[in-house]
Structures are given as structure tokens and as C-alpha cells.
Amino acid sequence: MVKKPSALPRSFLSLRRLLRRSISGRHYRRTTSATGARAAAPAQDKLKDRTVLVDVEGWLLRSPLSAFPYFMLVAVEAGSFLRGLLLLLVYPVLCLLALIGLDLRLEAMVTVSLFGLREREVARVSKAVLPKFFLEDVTMEGLEAFKKAGTVVAVTAAFPRVMVEGFLKEYLGVHAVVGREVAVTAGRYVGFLEEEHAGMERVGAFLEKMEETRSKGDGAVGLLGAVGRMVHHVDSRYCKETYVLSKADKKAWQPLPRDKYPNKLVFHDGRLAFRPTFFAALAMYTFAPLGIILAALRCIAFGVLPYRVSVPLAAATGMRSRLVAGPSPDASREKNEAGGRLYVCNHRTLLDPITVAAGLNKPVTAVTYSVSPVSELLAPIRTARLTRDRDEDRRRMEALLARGDLVVCPEGTTCREAYLLRFSPLFAELTGEVTPVALDTRVDMFYGTSTKPGAKWLDPFYFMMNSRPEYRVEFLERVATAPADGEAGGHGHSIQAANRVQRVLGEALGFELTGLTRKDKYMMLAGNEGVVSGGAK
């Protein structure tokens, strides 16, 4: 007969913990779901100016156990589609590892996704690609809880620090991010994840340092999820007050609306336009061979056939082109002194001038700054490269406009979201009136834009690879750009005219106007000004 172990040692340990907490002055509060969805979140004023420890997966994100899509994004965007396919193929093994322990699953995903990748490339993807998807997963109630906190320390157990730091600091205003590090050798990730306790020791050191510098000794507050032993262990040692979110409460919390993002998401990068869960990624890789065939057929159709044939043919393959009812672009047309009409459109993809030409059903000329030579070679319309020298570019554009219709995109770069960048005013000095063209796009699988060096020439091909890509084209009423009688001309007037055209396009599209420029976009997404040797942007 086996003798049952005595309960005395366990009771003694519990008593010792209780005494230790009482002596240190720490007290804990666990919330329940009895009073509704918001009961688990403390009042904002209660956390005002205090140090707050936030559990990223348990408190902030709606789906804490769905780390796979983010590792798939890193594998594809920082690596390649082949690396993403490898991660997809080992997913059944990852599920088996999850039964043994979540740590083994995490370590396996880190190894497959990061091994051999450059440290700076993973950092770029974490800053330019992942924030869009993380923001869509943030809970509104979870974020509002610590909005007035003095110092916010975010702790992650399901992701390496490098994957979440850019998103948390730049878009949510978190002051410090603590997580596990991945080993790096000669600027490349080895794929080994450090032990849990190493990251938690950094959390404790940071909290102790913060408390030493604070004038008030009110202690840190922990905002935790129902699971996550690593974060709970740190909280029990360094937080004087704790709020634990139950699973029932979290299910009732709502996603964060776009208009409540602490920092607006104007720019983001990457090819994937969807959240790559296992089944979504499986559908993408299954569709990819057909998508390549569709893209080739569509590109050939627009490059060889006339628009009256290529547009219906592309529609038969699933590509939709919507010409919104509006004033006819040639109605009551009067030839101006330059000889052609100037069409000014917002910039969504490199296909913008081609869609304008298709809407007009006649050839046009498009001006470019630093488009890849491959894109210029494959373009079915005439293109003219500018120099970024104002006087020289003006002479070239005037000469082109004298020979026929001209299409310009004054934003200078593409923008995926519902924003318009600042318009360069040079176009307003070329002619007395312009025709604004409002453009919008819809994709379901791949984005047709990228800032990654060496990949710009593939942008139109990726757009055509979507199963149902859509272009919306609307020709608007002409806008006068010449100074009225009594008004002073010059550069100041051209800026006002450019802003007026931007406002007209913004109202037609329902887009928000910004003062951001091409340089701002590339500095945020790529860390450079967007000028690459060889001319490709």
C-alpha cells in the first residue's frame, strides 16, 4: 500500500508566500466576468501616471494563441515564398508539439521562420509589415485601460521581442518591450530562442529601475491574461496590484476601430493582403499556379491587344474595371495651347496610367521618376522619365503635353490606405486647367506595391495574380489651375492649385488628406529616401 504524502509541506509553502506578500505590502485583485465585458479593465484614472506591466498576448491581443500567421508573414516577407511553404508543411508537426508544450512549438516556428535571415531585414518587416495585422488584433478595451499610464512595459511570451517591438512602440506608445531574444551571428539569425527566465529577469530589472526613479512609491500594476505562467511569475514578484482578465471577459472585448488607432496607419509594406492563417495560407499556395497563369494572360492582353478587347478579356478572367459615371473626359473639349489634356490622378499602383488610358480608350503618355527599366520596357503606353530637376522636368512635361495627353501622379509614390499624400505643384504650372482622375483598387491576396529593393518591377504582376483584382476609375470635372484676374502667379499659386486638386480627389474618394511625402514613406518603411542606384524606386 502506497502512503499518501503529507500536506504539511505544501501548506507551509503557501503560508510562507502569504507572509512574504504581506510583508512586502503587495496586494492582488482578480476580476470576474459577473459584471459584464468591461469589468475586467480598471478605470483609467486608477492607472494614471503609474507603471503598468501589460501582458501582450493575454491582455492586449484578441487571439493570443494564433502566432502562426505572424511567423508566416515574417517567413514570406523577410525570407521567401518557399520558406513560407516550408512553415506551412511543418504545421502538423507544430500542432503535435503544442500538445507537448507551447515552448517547443514557439521554438520550432522561430527556427523555421528566422534561421539564416538578416537581422536588419527581419527588423524592417517587423516595423513595416506586421503592425497592420497586429493593430487589427488589438482589443479596444485592453488598450484604453492603460491609455493614461505613466510608463507602460509590454511583456510578450508568444513572440520574440524583435517581432513586436516596432508595433508596440510606434503605434501604441509603449515605453519598453521585453521578450525573448533570438541568437544572432554575423548579422543573421541562428534560430535559437533564449530561455524564458532570461527575458523575465530583464522585466524585473526594468521595473525595479523605474520604481527607484519615481517620486511616488505606489508600485507597478499588472494587466494580465488568464494564462501565461511566465508573465504571472514576474507579476507576482514586482507588481503591487494585479488585474487578471478571464477568458469570458476577453471574448466580449471588441477589436480596436481604425479611427481610434493611437497613431494612424498610413503606410505599410509587404505582398500579402490577408491574414495568413493556416487555411488561408494553404488556399494561397494552392491558387498560386493558377494565379501565375492568370497574371501572364492579363499582362499579355493589356500589352498586345487594343483596350476594347483586352478589358472584356480581363473581365472574363475575374479582373474588374469600374468606370464610374461622371463627365465625359472629352465632353466640350477645347484644345489648349499645349495641345493635349493633362490628367492628374492619385497613385495606387504602377498600372494607374494604363487604367486611365483604358478609360479613355486611347494612348497617353505617363511621366515617371524612378520606375524600374523593366517596368518601362513592359509598359503598353509611352513613358517619359523625369530628372527631379524642377526646370528640366517642366520643360520635358511641356514638350510631352504639346504632343498629346499626359498623365501625372503628383503624390510621387503609391499609398495603399485611404489617404492622399502631398501633391507636388509642378503640374499646376503647365496648363490652365487639369482633369482630376480618382483611382481606387481592391485586392484579395497580393498587394501590387512594394518598397523592397529589386522587387518593384514585379508590382504589376502581383496585382494581376489576384483572383478578383479591381480598379475603380472616375473622371472628375476639370479644375482651373491658372491664376484668376488680379491674382499673383508663381510658385505660391501653383501650391494652392495643387492643394485644390488634392482636395477634389480626396472628396471624390472619401480619402483623408495628409502632408506626407514620398520621402516620409520610404523613411518609415525602408529607412532610406527611396532612391536606389540604377533608378528603381
**Residue 119 maps to which CATH number?**
3.40.50
Q: In this predicted structure, what is the pLDDT of residue 204?
A: 67
Q: What residues have CB less than 8 Å from 294, skipping those under 6 apart?
A: 317, 318, 464, 465, 467
- Helix or strand run (H / E) with residue 537: none
Residue 300 lies in a domain: yes
Distance CA 407, CA 342 (A): 6
Percent of the chain with pLDDT over 90: 51
CB atoms under 10 Å from CB of 437, counted, come to: 25
Boundary (domain end) residue, out of 259, 274, 302: 259
Residue 75 lies in a domain: yes
Distance CA 369, CA 389 (A): 11
Residue 511 lies in a domain: yes
Residue pLDDT, tens place only, 18-53:
444 443 444 334 433 333 333 457 777 788 888 888
Tell me the DSSP string of 400-415: HHHHS-EEE-TT-S--
* pTM listed for this prediction: 0.86
Residue pLDDT, tens place only, 95-148:
888 777 667 888 899 999 999 999 999 999 999 999 999 999 999 999 998 888
**Residue 456 maps to which CATH number?**
3.40.1130
User: Looking at the structure, do residues 78 and 129 belong to the same domain, yes or no?
Assistant: yes
Distance CA 514, CA 523 (A): 16
Residue 271 lies in a domain: no
pLDDT at 332 over 60: no
Residue pLDDT, tens place only, 139-180:
999 999 888 888 898 988 889 999 999 999 999 999 989 888
Residue pLDDT, tens place only, 453-474:
777 889 999 999 999 999 999 9
Give the Å distances, CA to CA, from 495 to 130, 199, 425, 426, 502: 35, 52, 5, 8, 10
Helix 229-238 to helix 196-213 angle (10° resolution) is 30
User: Looking at the structure, do residues 347 and 466 belong to the same domain, yes or no?
Assistant: yes
User: Looking at the structure, do residues 389 and 314 belong to the same domain, yes or no?
Assistant: yes
Residue pLDDT, tens place only, 275-299:
999 999 999 999 999 999 999 999 9
Residue 2 lies in a domain: no
The 8-class DSSP code of residue 247 comes to H
Give the Å distances, CA to CA, from 469 to 99, 361, 458, 475: 40, 20, 16, 20
Retrieve residue 328's grid coordinates.
Answer: 465625359
Distance CA 28, CA 203 (A): 19
Dihedral sign, CA of 392, 393, 394, 397? Answer: positive
- Helix or strand run (H / E) with residue 104: helix 102-114
Helices and strands: H and E segment counts in the chain? 20, 17
Please check whether residue 479 is in contact with residue 491, taking contact to mean a CB–CB distance below 8 angstroms. Answer: no
Residue 267 lies in a domain: no
User: Looking at the structure, do residues 125 and 57 belong to the same domain, yes or no?
Assistant: yes
Distance CA 171, CA 412 (A): 25
SS3 of residue 361 by DSSP? coil
pLDDT at 77 over 60: yes
Burial annotation 396-412 (CB, 10 A radius, 16+ → b, else e): bbeebbeeebbbbbbbb
Please check whether residue 121 is in contact with residue 78, taking contact to mean a CB–CB distance below 8 angstroms. Answer: yes
- Range with the poorest average pLDDT among 241-245, 247-251, 436-440, 525-529: 525-529
Q: Is 304 exposed, middle or buried (0-12, 13-18, 19+ CB in 10 A)?
A: exposed
Tell me the pLDDT band of 197, cut-offs 50, 70 and 90: low
The letter for the amino acid at 66 is: S
User: Looking at the structure, do residues 79 and 162 belong to the same domain, yes or no?
Assistant: yes
User: Looking at the structure, do residues 189 and 305 belong to the same domain, yes or no?
Assistant: no
Residue ranges of alpha helices (H) inside 305-366 are: 307-316, 352-360
| 419-430 average pLDDT score | 94
Number of domains composing the chain: 2
User: Looking at the structure, do residues 292 and 362 belong to the same domain, yes or no?
Assistant: yes
Please check whether residue 76 is in contact with residue 245, taking contact to mean a CB–CB distance below 8 angstroms. Answer: no
Q: What residues have CB less than 8 Å from 444, skipping those under 6 apart?
A: 273, 274, 466, 467, 468, 469
Mean pLDDT computed over every residue of the chain = 83
User: Looking at the structure, do residues 323 and 433 belong to the same domain, yes or no?
Assistant: yes
Beta bridge partners of 262: none
CB atoms under 10 Å from CB of 319, counted, come to: 24
Residue pLDDT, tens place only, 352-389:
999 999 999 888 999 988 777 777 777 889 999 888 88
Distance CA 365, CA 418 (A): 26
Residue 449 lies in a domain: yes
User: Looking at the structure, do residues 205 and 85 belong to the same domain, yes or no?
Assistant: yes
The 8-class DSSP code of residue 57 comes to I
Q: How many residues does the chain have?
A: 537
User: Looking at the structure, do residues 522 and 397 belong to the same domain, yes or no?
Assistant: yes
- Range with the poorest average pLDDT among 209-218, 375-384, 389-398, 507-516: 209-218
Retrieve residue 255's grid coordinates.
Answer: 477589436
User: Looking at the structure, do residues 305 and 396 belong to the same domain, yes or no?
Assistant: yes
Retrieve residue 525's grid coordinates.
Answer: 518603411
Nearest Cα neighbor of 218 from 459, 422, 406, 46 is 46
Please check whether residue 240 is in contact with residue 221, taking contact to mean a CB–CB distance below 8 angstroms. Answer: yes
Distance CA 390, CA 394 (A): 6
Residue 21 lies in a domain: no
Distance CA 127, CA 265 (A): 12
The letter for the amino acid at 391 is: D
Give the Å distances, CA to CA, from 259 to 76, 417, 503: 29, 13, 20
The letter for the amino acid at 127 is: K
User: Looking at the structure, do residues 324 and 445 belong to the same domain, yes or no?
Assistant: yes
Retrieve residue 321's grid coordinates.
Answer: 474595371
Q: In this predicted structure, what is the pLDDT of residue 501?
A: 96
Range of the structural domain that residue 469 is part of: 288-330+337-526
